[in-house]
């Protein structure tokens, strides 16, 4: 942790707290800063992890151009949940048939759970996220063919 920008850590911690986020991450050049809220305590206390940036960081992303056309993308920044609660089954799984308007997942933003619905009917080819994962605006969540 040689040249870590303390101002960046402070600003990320403030954003985490002000927006009631569970975690926030920033990457630049050789450093990735990840601030995670300590949910075990009543007050939100940020935990900071500084790790070397990985040159080839990638989640499971669709590879074909056809997949890109069939993506359901996140309408907002938040945390994705694939079921209504941890003890319930996922709204959809790979291979499931879905109809227009069917709930695929929930995105929690500012303590509000927002349903993400299918914009087309078809088969769920890929689930590109995991429950509890933070997602960005316009990030691919599902591929429906």
Q: What is the pLDDT of residue 42?
A: 38
Q: Locate the domains of the chain by residue range.
A: 6-52, 65-144
What is the per-residue pLDDT for 100?
93
pLDDT tens digits for range 37-82: 765 443 444 444 444 444 333 344 444 555 778 899 999 999 999 9
Closest CA to 37 of 67, 12, 68: 12
Pick the CATH number of 65-144 from 3.30.365.10, 3.40.50.1860, 2.40.50.100, 3.30.70.120: 2.40.50.100
Looking at the chain, list the stretches that DSSP marks H as alpha helix, in order from N- to C-terminal side: 6-18, 65-69
Q: What is the tens place of the pLDDT at every residue in 81-118? A: 999 888 899 999 999 999 999 999 999 988 889 999 99
- Position 40 scores a pLDDT of 47
pLDDT at 82: 94
pLDDT tops 90 at residue 9: no
Cβ partners under 8 Å of residue 58, min gap 6: none
Count of C-beta atoms within a 10 Å radius of residue 91:
21
The mean per-residue pLDDT over the stretch 20-32 comes to 73
């Amino acid at each position: 942790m040689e040249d870590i920008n303390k101002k960046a850590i402070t600003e990320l911690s403030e954003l985490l707290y002000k927006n009631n986020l569970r975690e926030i991450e920033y990457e630049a050049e050789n450093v990735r800063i990840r601030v995670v809220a300590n949910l075990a305590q009543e007050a939100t206390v940020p935990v900071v992890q500084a790790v070397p940036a990985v040159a080839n960081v990638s989640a499971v992303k669709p590879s074909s151009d056809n997949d890109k056309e069939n993506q359901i993308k996140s309408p907002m920044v938040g945390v994705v949940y694939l079921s209504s609660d941890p003890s319930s089954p996922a709204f959809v799984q790979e291979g499931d048939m879905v109809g227009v308007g069917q709930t695929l997942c929930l995105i929690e933003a500012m303590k509000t759970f927002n349903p993400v619905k299918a914009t087309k009917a078809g088969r769920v080819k890929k689930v590109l996220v995991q429950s509890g994962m933070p997602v960005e605006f316009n990030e691919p969540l599902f591929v429906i063919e």
